[in-house]
């Protein structure tokens, strides 16, 4: 039994209707009878009167709650429902693939990815989609590909470090962005792209490791030579440290085939604040939501 202060606009029928929605085995008439049973002297509803109700009517609380508090109520009330966890196997596989591939050094990865915890991606999905009752849960759970969101375009144009982050399978399937598995993989790739620190550097060829020589001709400079023989100015400087200050006709320069490419040289830390700053679009409570899910919901489950 709960105490309730009658407000303007309240009617016995309306209160009974709210109760019948909660207790679905009650008709409105049965619900009215229960309310009257708890209030034997009830004849009319007077504004300000305190009455007993068989349910907690928290409309006042709902009106006063912030959007963040309402969101917390949704999470707390739904996180034990199995549908909220249906993407766990997919997320684990996708994150494991990224960890494995980006956790190895290559010509474009100078500093490897610190292992990404799959639960961060799950938390992002919960914040982005709002849960299984929303249509986006079955199409774009990470919301990449939404109108106005630049993430998909970055991947499609292979901008920033995205070409290093993505594998061939994702590149080929970006047109399927409205399927959950591709959306989660694309969203994870875009997140990692936003966390990556990259710069353009001289990268030696991985297919041609031979050392070549070039004889300087009149009018040559390092830039012209690099373009002519398929290498970089940096590679010429590294291979010929004693000659880079000045070159002369007939000087013989050593070099390896090389090109200027984007290279991942570091990673921003994975945290609620960093993800909110680098992935979020427009939600001022994004960091708080991620923190709540990771610290309050997932810490009890995992």
Domain residue spans of the chain: 2-64, 77-201+264-301, 211-256
Residues 166/190, Cβ–Cβ less than 8 Å? no
Taking the chain (302 residues) in runs of 10, the rounded mean pLDDT of each run is 84 87 80 91 87 76 70 86 96 98 96 98 96 93 93 97 98 98 98 98 94 96 96 96 89 96 98 97 94 94 82
Q: What is the pTM of this model?
A: 0.75
pLDDT of residue 62: 42
**Candidates 2.40.50, 1.10.10, 1.10.530, 1.10.1740; correct CATH number of 77-201+264-301?**
1.10.530
Residues 91/120, Cβ–Cβ less than 8 Å? no
Structure tokens at 84: 């909220």
pLDDT of residue 58: 63
3-class secondary-structure state, position 164: helix
How far is it, in rounded angstroms, from Cα 234 to Cα 61? 66
Name the nearest CA neighbour of 270 among 261, 278, 282.
278
Structure tokens at 204: 């030696």
Per CATH, 2-64 and 211-256 having the same topology is answered yes
Structure tokens at 243: 């000659």
Structure tokens at 93: 């596989």
pLDDT of residue 230: 97
- Return the CATH class of domain 211-256: alpha beta
Residues 126/294, Cβ–Cβ less than 8 Å? no
The Cα-based distances of 228 to 117, 147, 190, 220, 257 in angstroms read: 46, 45, 36, 10, 11
Q: C-alpha angle with apex 300: 296 to 302, nearest 5 degrees?
A: 115
Task: Quote the radius of gyration of the chain (alpha carbons, Å).
Answer: 31
Domain 2-64 homologous superfamily, CATH = LysM domain (3.10.350.10)
């Amino acid at each position: 039994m709960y105490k309730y202060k009658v407000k303007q606009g309240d009617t016995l029928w309306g209160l009974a209707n709210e109760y019948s929605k909660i207790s679905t085995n009650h008709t409105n008439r049965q619900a009215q009878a229960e309310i009257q049973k708890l209030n034997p002297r009830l004849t009319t509803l007077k504004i300000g009167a305190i009455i007993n109700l068989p349910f907690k009517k928290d409309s006042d609380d709902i009106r006063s709650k912030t959007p963040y508090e309402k969101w917390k109520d949704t999470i707390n009330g739904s996180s034990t429902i199995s549908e909220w966890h249906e993407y766990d196997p997919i997320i684990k596989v996708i994150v494991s693939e990224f960890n494995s591939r980006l956790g190895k050094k290559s010509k474009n990865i100078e500093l490897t990815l610190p292992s990404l915890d799959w639960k961060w991606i799950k938390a992002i999905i919960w914040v982005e989609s709002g849960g299984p009752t929303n249509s986006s849960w079955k199409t774009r759970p990470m919301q990449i590909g939404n109108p106005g969101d630049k993430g998909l375009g970055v991947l499609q144009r292979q901008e920033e470090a995205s070409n290093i982050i993505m594998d061939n399978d994702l590149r080929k399937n970006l047109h399927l962005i409205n399927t959950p598995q591709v959306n989660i993989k694309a969203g994870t790739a875009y997140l990692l792209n936003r966390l990556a620190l990259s710069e353009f550097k001289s990268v030696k060829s991985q297919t041609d490791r031979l050392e070549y020589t070039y004889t300087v001709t009149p009018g040559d400079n390092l830039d012209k030579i690099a373009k002519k023989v398929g290498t970089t100015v940096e590679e010429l400087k590294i291979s010929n440290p004693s000659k880079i200050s000045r070159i002369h006709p007939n000087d013989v320069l050593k070099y390896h085939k090389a090109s200027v490419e984007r290279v991942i040289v570091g990673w921003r830390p994975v945290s609620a604040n960093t993800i909110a700053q680098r992935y979020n679009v427009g939600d001022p409570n994004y960091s708080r939501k991620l923190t709540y899910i990771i610290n309050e919901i997932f810490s009890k489950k995992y």
